[in-house]
């Protein structure tokens, strides 16, 4: 077992360690079954995953009709072979061999041979795992004792993959599977998967017309349609207003700068591979920014500061650019350009604690507004440094101890649900990560709050303290709402597209029953719009029921139907997207209802 894996597993509970071993064995069962069914394939490699396993196969030597190698249509056959192997209840046994022996065993498999070279280079022992006597593979374990322990598993999907995630030309075939401790857990997982598929923001984004991509524009660069841009604008104004209310000062700085700026900050060596290429403009070398901090530092340094001016809380709706591998781009979730609700707080060290409390207050407030419950939908992670790793982390044990202590005590005193994660800090200090659970049940870091004692030194940022001396502030890096793209992706899935009223791009769809009701519908629309209600009138010459169905599918919160009866009585027949009939209402009554709902959402 590699050292990294050993450390990772060591942090899991006994139960999770067993589950990991079970999934790892299921992965072996998969590749053994595949080997049996397709003897000409070459095995590459595969791991256990948080839901099961996957394995990459080189299928180039397979003879198949129409170039189609293996597809989901083959799953029943493969699963049957897996079942046969599991039922044999074969023992999983480990042995060590020399590099020479290993090379002989895996002769003709370039993937395994490369792997053997790597193990040898690292000076580790070469371990094999056998499954009874029907298969053996390069593997350092751990595994469950026998294949028969695998009770609940299922193949999920097939995808393309590159060897080591690199960009070589030939594509491997990756088969994903799920494996759980019980059939019940597997069924629960498959249900969540089903639900996640329905709520997939890429699917809903298309169906609800929120964003598109364009081949002529480029990969990972979404275009927000009017509806998508409306959600984005609502979120942006909400957070800007709230931050200003809380004493932040919004600024606007350029989304590119000289590479020298990121050399000064020390970001360049860490971020170089995920930055866009530099651009030579006259004598300057410019580069698109991968983060905002040094820009805010330049603003801070543009005039002398006194302790009376601090804390300075610079916030920005900040476009940023990061290179992501094309295989990792995912709708709005993983993009090559994003816009972060970013901020940097410059504070005397003794004020840092209060500022971090303020930031967590804001995050809890924002998340509540977005409908998320602390504990259920998100929790905090305290990401710590490693005093021994002086390459990865700035060396100053005292400052690390102090900063980690501040973050830990704030989280503890607030009774915020959190856990600690060693070796996950930024290079300039520890951080609190906002861990959000997505629809598929996975936890992801949405954004972070960072305590930074390094940048003020690198940028020679100072203020005059109350004794007239020059002093260095500390910097709190934080987001309050994350990147708009990612947050929108999350919200689309969280609400399954049925946004709360304040976020819905169209709040009311008015449906005149016949053409003669169009004028009345327009008048109602004007009145609603005048009061800030985002309203659309559906003038298509379709039957009313079809229009109702369309807007319900579009998850418009309220439909207002206008026919003879409504025109005569000056009312609108209101229905909700859930199909509830609220009957006829005056426009004033409808407006009152909408405003009440908006006020409840704000509270």
Q: Interface with a second copy by CB under 8 A: which residues?
A: 167, 209, 212, 214, 216-219, 221-226, 228-230, 232-233, 237, 240, 245, 249-258, 260-261, 264, 276-277, 279-282, 284, 286, 288, 294-295, 298-299, 302-303, 308, 314, 319, 323, 326, 336-337, 529, 539-540
As a whole number of angstroms, the distance between CA 241 and CA 220 comes to 29
C-alpha dist (Å) from residue 482 to 192, 441, 455, 477: 25, 19, 22, 12
Query: Least Å distance between CB 253 and a second copy?
Result: 5
Query: Least Å distance between CB 418 and a second copy?
Result: 33
For the chain, the distance separating the N- and C-terminal CA atoms, rounded to the nearest angstrom, is: 52
Query: Least Å distance between CB 337 and a second copy?
Result: 6
Query: Least Å distance between CB 64 and a second copy?
Result: 28
Nearest to a second copy of 264, 445 (CB atom): 264
Nearest to a second copy of 24, 313 (CB atom): 313
CA torsion angle 367 368 371 374 (round to 10): 80
DSSP 7: H
Query: Least Å distance between CB 523 and a second copy?
Result: 17
Nearest to a second copy of 221, 357 (CB atom): 221
Query: Least Å distance between CB 558 and a second copy?
Result: 20
Nearest to a second copy of 164, 250 (CB atom): 250
Nearest to a second copy of 47, 327 (CB atom): 327
As a whole number of angstroms, the distance between CA 135 and CA 131 comes to 5
Query: Least Å distance between CB 268 and a second copy?
Result: 13
Nearest to a second copy of 228, 497 (CB atom): 228
**Is-contact 509 544, C-beta < 8 A?**
no
Q: Is the peptide bond before 311 cis (omega within 30 degrees of 0)?
A: yes
CB atoms under 10 Å from CB of 569, counted, come to: 11
Q: What are phi and psi of 363, to 5 degrees?
A: -60, -45
Query: Least Å distance between CB 537 and a second copy?
Result: 12
Q: Which run of H or E residues covers position 9?
A: helix 3-10
DSSP 513: S
Nearest to a second copy of 320, 416 (CB atom): 320
As a whole number of angstroms, the distance between CA 549 and CA 479 comes to 39
Query: Least Å distance between CB 474 and a second copy?
Result: 21
As a whole number of angstroms, the distance between CA 12 and CA 78 comes to 31
Nearest to a second copy of 12, 212 (CB atom): 212
Which regions of 331-430 does DSSP assign to beta strands (E)? 337-347, 378-383, 418-421
Nearest to a second copy of 143, 289 (CB atom): 289
Which residues does residue 179 pair with via DSSP β-bridges, in sequence order? 153
Q: What are phi and psi of 77, to 5 degrees?
A: -60, -45
**Is-contact 477 293, C-beta < 8 A?**
yes
Closest CA to 441 of 50, 53, 67: 50
């Amino acid at each position: 077992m590699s050292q990294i894996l050993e450390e990772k597993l060591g942090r899991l509970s006994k139960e999770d360690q067993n589950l990991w071993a079970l999934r790892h064995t299921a992965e072996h069962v998969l590749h053994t079954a595949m080997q049996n069914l397709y003897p000409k394939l070459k095995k590459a490699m595969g791991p256990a995953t948080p839901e099961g396993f996957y394995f990459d196969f080189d299928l180039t030597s397979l003879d198949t009709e129409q170039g189609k190698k293996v597809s989901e249509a083959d799953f029943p056959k493969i699963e049957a072979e897996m079942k046969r192997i599991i039922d044999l209840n074969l023992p999983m046994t480990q042995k060590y061999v020399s590099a020479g022996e290993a090379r002989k065993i895996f002769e003709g498999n370039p993937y395994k041979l490369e792997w053997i070279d790597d193990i040898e280079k690292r000076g580790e022992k070469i371990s094999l795992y056998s499954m009874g006597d029907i298969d053996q593979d390069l593997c350092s374990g751990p595994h469950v004792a026998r294949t028969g322990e695998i009770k609940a598993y299922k193949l999920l999907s097939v995808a393309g993959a590159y060897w080591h995630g690199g960009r070589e030309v030939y594509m491997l075939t990756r088969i994903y599977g799920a494996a759980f401790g019980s059939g019940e857990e597997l069924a629960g997982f498959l249900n969540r998967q089903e639900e996640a598929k329905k709520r997939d923001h890429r699917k809903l984004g298309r169906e609800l017309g929120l964003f598109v991509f364009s081949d002529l524009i480029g990969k990972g660069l979404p275009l927000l349609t009017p509806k998508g841009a409306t959600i984005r604008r609502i979120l942006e104004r909400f957070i800007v207003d709230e931050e200003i209310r809380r004493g932040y000062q919004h600024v606007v700085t350029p989304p590119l700068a000289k590479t020298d700026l990121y050399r000064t900050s020390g970001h360049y060596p860490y971020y170089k591979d995920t930055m866009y290429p530099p651009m030579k403009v006259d004598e300057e070398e410019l580069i698109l920014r991968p983060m905002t901090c040094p820009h805010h530092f330049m603003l801070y340094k543009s005039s002398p500061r006194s302790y009376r001016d601090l804390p300075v809380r610079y916030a920005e709706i900040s476009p940023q650019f990061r290179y992501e591998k094309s295989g990792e781009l995912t709708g709005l979730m993983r993009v090559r350009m994003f816009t972060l609700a970013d901020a940097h707080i410059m504070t005397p060290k003794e004020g840092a604690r209060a500022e971090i409390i303020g930031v967590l207050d804001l995050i809890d407030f924002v998340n509540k507004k977005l409908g998320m419950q602390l504990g259920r939908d998100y929790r905090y992670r305290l990401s710590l440094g490693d005093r021994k790793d002086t390459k990865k982390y700035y060396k100053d044990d005292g400052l690390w101890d102090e900063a980690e202590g501040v973050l830990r005590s704030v989280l503890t005193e607030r009774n915020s649900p959190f856990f600690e994660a060693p070796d996950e800090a930024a290079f300039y200090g520890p951080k609190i990560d906002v861990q959000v659970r997505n629809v598929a049940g996975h936890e992801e870091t949405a954004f972070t709050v960072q305590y930074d004692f390094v940048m003020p030194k690198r940028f020679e940022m100072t203020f005059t303290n109350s004794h007239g001396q020059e002093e260095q502030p500390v910097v709190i890096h934080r987001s309050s709402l994350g990147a708009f793209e990612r947050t929108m992706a999350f919200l689309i899935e969280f609400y399954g597209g049925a946004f709360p009223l304040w976020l819905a791009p169209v709040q009311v769809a008015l449906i005149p029953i016949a053409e003669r009701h169009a004028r009345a519908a327009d008048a109602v629309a004007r009145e609603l719009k005048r009061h800030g209600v985002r309203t659309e009138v559906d003038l298509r010459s379709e039957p009313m029921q079809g229009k109702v169905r369309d807007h319900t599918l579009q998850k418009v919160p309220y439909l207002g139907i206008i026919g003879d009866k409504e025109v005569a009585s000056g009312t609108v027949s209101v229905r909700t997207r859930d199909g509830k009939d609220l009957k006829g209402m005056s426009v004033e009554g409808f407006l009152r209802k909408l405003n009440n709902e908006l006020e409840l959402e704000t509270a």
